[in-house]
Amino acid sequence: MDPPPPPTPTGIPREAWEGCSVLLDINDGDRLAFFRLTPAATVKIGNRTCSLKPLVGRPFGTLFRVGPDGLVPCTTGDAPSRDDSMQDGADGQVQDETRDNRSLVDNNTAQNLSSDDIETMKRDGATGDEIVEALIANSSTFGKKTVFSQEKYKLKKQKKYAPKVLLRRPSTRRFMRVDTLSLLLSMANIGAYSDVLVVDMVGGLIAGAVAERLGGTGYVCSTYLGSAPSSIDIIRMYNLSSDTVSRIVQIPLSDLCSMGSSENTPSVLNGAAEREVVEPEDAQASLAQAVDMAVSDEKAQLSTEQPTDMEVSEPSLEVQDGNSSLDCRGGDGSIASKSKPGKRPSPEKMKYWKEHGFSSVIVAAPDHEIESLVADLLPLLSYSAPFAIYHQYLEPLAKCMHTLQVSKRAIGLQLSEPWLREYQVST
Amino acid sequence: MMVPLDPADKLTSQRRIAEGDTVVVYERHDSMRTVAVRAGGVLQNRFGVFRHDDWIGRPFGSKVFGTGGGGGRGGGGKGGGKAGGGFVHLLAPTPELWTLVLSHRTQILYIADISLVVAYLELVPGCVVLESGTGSGSLTTSLARAVAPHGRVHTFDFHEQRAASAREDFERNGLSSLITVNVRDIQGEGFPDAHRAAADAVFLDLPQPWLAIPSVGLMLKQDGILCSFSPCIEQVQRACEAMRSCFTDIRTFEILLRTYEVRDGALNGGAANQEATVGALPQKRRKFTAPGENADTAQKNSSVMVRPCSTARGHTGYLTFARLCVSESQN
């Protein structure tokens, strides 16, 4: 098994290597799924099963089409993507002003080619693009459509007869609503060398995103309630280096809270109490909380974001070989197997955190009661450290904020709801 | 240190305010400023007169009292300390706080736009990012945090004085090793050849970004990401047109942040509050309640009411993201 290519100076790998995790974008966002490029890995496109071997060594961002022998990288001459296919329609725009759909009748008679004709073409070796051209030529209504409508028709046929697969590098922004996640990372001042305390009940999304932004420095201490660690499986999708992965540790919250309680408290606390400085663990301005309102936002999400965003929230790791690759055991000698995330932190590290505090805390426990959770977490923070709490409901956050305001344990509290809308820009 | 360049720089509970440190003086949620701490220095504001010497040796996050002034309004002044003095909090600076306190030489980007840009550009430590224009350095500071300690932000502005002011700010904030500032007309000349195929990401905030798009195509590594910020949709349209030839996955977004305010739940006729005032503004209760202590059961049962703030930041601009196409001719 080849090791991953040496990282570029910036540490972002630009090409896929054997055994790495990739995100395949099939037909321009219609289907997104994760795959691991093991030797036997395949993907099903339409009714064909194609090997993923041609993807190894290719740059991320490469588009593939389904050729007679499997996946083949597209050359610039191949069928264009949605972005530049609009150029063809430029001439037609003058005529568009007189075109509309008043004469279109949906009675299934517009297409003159039958499915048998198409099968014959396939057997004769016609490429997908040739079939699409033939369909267009044999459509009695195509010429009467507006430019946009013709475009839509062409894309629809292309997706069926000439599907495309885009090789993408997995990145954190694909999961949670990107604006929510990005705000949490900013507001918690995530950067190199931070020791970040995280309560991650979203599958490891937060822990992974924080680890990415730490770039192999600092620590992500993922803490959990009860005795069973919450799953952080998503992290395995990120192609994080072993350095980065080793910095993700897990420990029950009860252990964190009780650590060193019998030891001498650092002198600073005594000093602060003497001098009337009452609440040293003040939080920072406008960094407190991010709210993601499930009720109103879900509707917005469905209508404005690509439908696949809903799918990707539970990424499917499709690996078609015998190994239980999900565990990274069994022959997949990639680096992920050597350094699994989620080890327990060393006692030295815990002592350090007890004495120095965490740089910030992020809480993503969308179904959980947070007020008491926050009360347990705040004492673990450094003085003047920021914290960011995500919840899908407004009321628990409002209650928590009110309690914090009253107790004056934190300042600069802000309760916000991010709102993201995508625009369709015609060019 | 706003952005630690070394593990020893980072903020911890052991750290003390020292001479030469920059602190963010937090007066109220909407009133903050940065102050460079120096022996013998004095800060005067509506809450009183504050001597820097009182700050030196304290932890960040401390609440400090001043003398005289203010009549204790908003400052509390209760429970000892210096009689009649108001108080402020001293916070450690971060890029978010910097965005709120920096001097606006130009219109700036705020946290919602900034955080989406940093995340969508997929910036991680070690990345190289180009920016034009620099403006007041609001986004630049957050870009620096994202790529620290070994990455670089190369920022360009065509206005010599503003570039100089930005350079000074970055120097004062300890960011000079991460950020280079250059005076250059990116719309007219494009980015310098020195950065060809070297940038992981490029950010544009220009009045005519379409003029710079071809140059961006040369600067980005393959699959690198471009973001262009424009207030008007017509600018977005022209920029998208220019992107079509070399870029893919072109998407335009707007992000807004809606803030909420909370107050105690007792409406008229409720018994939980001592003062049930009609149309009361959010009031901070004077009583200190340690979290987890349920001394006052009435408080535990009282509900909290929340509503959107009446004033909110509105439209700032559209953010268009795109990826550089992978081409075989690129080497």
User: Bigger pLDDT: A349 or A122?
Assistant: A349
The answer on A133 and A216 residing in a single domain is no
The reply, when asked if residue B264 is annotated as ligand binding, is no
Task: Report pLDDT for A129.
Answer: 85
3-state secondary structure of A298: helix
Q: Do A397 and A356 share a structural domain?
A: yes
Select the more confidently predicted residue: A119 or B217. B217
Helix (H) or strand (E) holding B308: strand B304-308
Helix (H) or strand (E) holding A423: strand A415-423
Calculate mean pLDDT across residues A48-57. 92
pLDDT band at A84 (very low <50, low <70, confident <90, very high): very low
**Cα–Cα distance, B10 to A220 (Å, whole number):** 15
Best-predicted range by mean pLDDT (A327-341, A342-356, B198-212, B288-302): B198-212
CA atoms within 13 A on the CB side of A53: 6
pLDDT at residue A410 is higher than 60: yes
Return the pLDDT at A2: 47
Chain A residue numbers with beta carbons less than 8 Å from the beta carbon of B252 are 422-423, 425
Q: Is the pLDDT of residue B37 over 70?
A: yes
- Nearest residue of B to residue A372 by CA position? B292
pLDDT at A378 over 70: yes
Q: Do B124 and A215 touch (CB under 8 A)?
A: yes
Q: What is the pLDDT of residue A94?
A: 59
Confidence of residue A297 (pLDDT cuts 50, 70, 90): very low
B271 Cα distance to chain centroid: 41
Name which of A172, A195, A284 to mutate to probe chain B: the one with the most chain B Cβ atoms within 10 A of its Cβ: A284
pLDDT (mean) for A358-372: 91
Beta bridge partners of B128: B152
A86 is a domain residue: no
When CB atoms are compared, the residue of A371, A384, A401 closest to B60 is A384
Q: Where in the sequence is the domain holding A395, given as residue range(s)?
A: 178-260+338-407
Reported confidence tier of residue B270, pLDDT bands at 50, 70, 90? low
Q: How confident is the model at residue B330 (pLDDT cuts 50, 70, 90)?
A: very low
Q: Based on the fold, state whether residues A150 and A186 are members of the same structural domain.
A: no
Residue A149 and residue A34 share a domain? yes
Mutate to test the interface with A, among B27, B33, B96 (most CBs of A within 10 A): B96
The residue among A170, A186, A208 that closes a domain is A170
Residue B115 has pLDDT above 70, yes or no: yes
Q: How far is A290 from chain B (nearest CA, A)?
A: 9
Shortest CA distance to B35 belongs to which of B52, B49, B15, B47? B52
CATH architecture designation of domain B97-256+314-324:
3-Layer(aba) Sandwich (3.40)
Asked if A217 has any chain B CB less than 8 Å from its own CB, the reply is yes
Residue B250 is nearest to which of A59, A83, A385, comparing CB atoms?
Answer: A83
Q: CA A350, A355, A358, A363: dihedral to nearest 10 degrees?
A: 70
Mean pLDDT is highest, among A59-68, A95-104, A280-289, for: A59-68
Stronger pLDDT, B191 or B296, i.e. the higher one: B191
State yes or no: cis peptide before B133, omega within 30 of 0.
yes
Residues A235 and A255 in one domain: yes
Here the CATH number for the domain that contains residue A204 is 3.40.50.150
**Average pLDDT of the residues in A202-208:** 90
CB of A61 less than 8 A from some CB of B: yes
What's the token pair of residue B174?
Answer: 């300890």
**What is the average per-residue pLDDT within B278-301?**
46
HEC string of A43-68? EEECCEEEECHHHCCCECCCEEEEEC
Q: CATH 3.10.330.20 region(s) of chain B?
A: 16-71+85-93
Q: In chain A, positions 67-126, which contact chain B (CB-CB < 8 Å)?
A: 75-76, 81, 83-84, 86-87
Inform me whether the C-beta atom of residue A212 falls under 8 Å from chain B C-beta atoms. yes
- Is the per-residue pLDDT at A12 higher than 60? yes
Q: What are phi and psi of B15, to 5 degrees?
A: -75, 145
Residue A295: predicted pLDDT = 25
Are both A163 and A182 inside the same structural domain?
no
CA–CA separation, B321 and B317 (whole Å):
13
Q: Which helix (H) or strand (E) holds B213?
A: helix B213-219
Position A332 in a domain: no
pLDDT at residue B124, as a whole number: 94
**Span A298-325, mean pLDDT?**
27
**If you write DSSP's letter for every residue of B3-22 in order, what string do you get?**
S-SSGGGS--TT----TT-E
DSSP assignments along B254-304, one per residue = EEEEEEEEEEE---TT-SS-S---TTPPP---SS---TT----HHHHH--E
Mean per-residue pLDDT, A360-377: 91
Q: Hey, which of A116-125, A243-252, B207-216, B304-313 has the most confident mean pLDDT?
A: B207-216
What is the residue-averaged pLDDT of chain B? 86
Q: How many CA atoms lie within 13 A of B251 on its CB side?
A: 18
- Determine what percent of chain A is predicted with pLDDT higher than 90: 37
Q: Is residue A138 part of a domain?
A: yes
At A265 the pLDDT is 34
**A1 has a pLDDT exceeding 50:** no
Selected residue with higher pLDDT from B69 and A399: A399
The third-level CATH classification (topology) of the domain covering B16-71+85-93 is Vcp-like ATPase; Chain A, domain 2 (3.10.330)
Instruction: Please check whether residue A396 is in contact with residue A378, taking contact to mean a CB–CB distance below 8 angstroms.
Output: no
Residues A60 and A113 in one domain: yes
Residue A253, C-beta contacts closer than 8 angstroms, at least 6 positions apart: A199, A223, A224, A225, A376, A377
Residue of higher predicted confidence among B146 and A341 = B146
How many structural domains does chain A have?
2
Position B280 scores a pLDDT of 46
**A329 in any annotated domain:** no
- B136 known member of a binding site: yes
Same domain? A113 vs A25: yes
Give the DSSP per-residue string, A115-172.
HHHHHHHHHTT--HHHHHHHHHHTBSSGGGS-HHHHHHHHHHHHHHHS-EEEEE---G
Is the pLDDT at A344 greater than 60? The verdict is yes
b/e sequence A163-191, b meaning 16+ C-beta within 10 Å: bbbbbbbbbbbbbbbbbbbbbbbbbbbbb
Confidence at B266, pLDDT banded by 50, 70, 90? confident
* Pairwise CB contact (< 8 Å): B318 & A423: yes
In a domain, A141, yes or no: yes
Cα of B214 to nearest chain A Cα, Å: 16
pLDDT greater than 80 at residue B231: yes
For chain A positions 283-342, those within 8 Å of chain B (CB to CB) are: 284-287, 291
Residue A220 lies in a domain: yes
- The answer to whether residues A69 and A191 belong to one domain is no
Using CA atoms, how far apart are residues B159 and B168, in angstroms rounded to an integer? 14
Size of interface A-B (CB pairs under 8 A): 295
Model pLDDT for residues A113-139, shown as the tens digit of each residue: 888 888 888 888 788 888 999 999 989
Residue A347 and residue A241 share a domain:
yes
pLDDT tens string B61-85: 999 999 875 444 444 444 444 445 7
- Confidence category of residue A232, pLDDT binned at 50, 70, 90: confident
Question: Do residue B241 and residue A279 have CB atoms under 8 angstroms apart?
Answer: no
Residues A209 and A241 both lie in one domain: yes
Contact check, Cβ <8 Å, A419/B256? yes
Delimit the CATH 3.40.50.150 region(s) of chain B: 97-256+314-324
Of A291-300, A345-354, A390-399, the poorest mean pLDDT is in A291-300
- Does the distance separating the beta carbons of B26 and A76 come in below 8 Å? no
Residues of A in contact with B257 (CB under 8 A): 183, 416-419
Contact (CB<8Å) B257/A417: yes
Residue for token digits 């350094």?
A339
Confidence band of B269 (pLDDT split at 50, 70, 90): low
Span B40-44, average pLDDT: 94
Please tell me whether residues A219 and A149 are part of one structural domain: no
Residue B254: which of A75, A405, A421 has the nearest Cβ? A421
Give the range among A281-290, B2-11, B231-240 with minimum mean pLDDT: A281-290
**CA of A424 vs chain B CAs: smallest distance (Å):** 7
Q: Which of A170, A186, A220 is the last residue of a domain?
A: A170
Query: Last residue of a domain, which of A143, A170, A197?
Result: A170
Of how many residues is chain A composed? 427
**Using omega within 30 degrees of 0 as the cis cutoff, is the peptide bond preceding A7 cis?**
no
In a domain? residue A99: no
CB-based contact, A243 to chain B, within 8 Å? no
Q: Is B138 annotated as a binding residue?
A: yes
* Structural domain contains residue A87: no
Which chain A positions have a beta carbon within 8 Å of B60's beta carbon? Answer: 383-384
Structure confidence at residue A283 (pLDDT):
32
Mind listing the pLDDT tens digit for each residue in B143-191?
A: 999 999 999 999 999 999 999 999 999 999 999 999 999 999 999 999 9
Mean pLDDT of B274-296: 46
What 3-state DSSP class applies to B44? strand
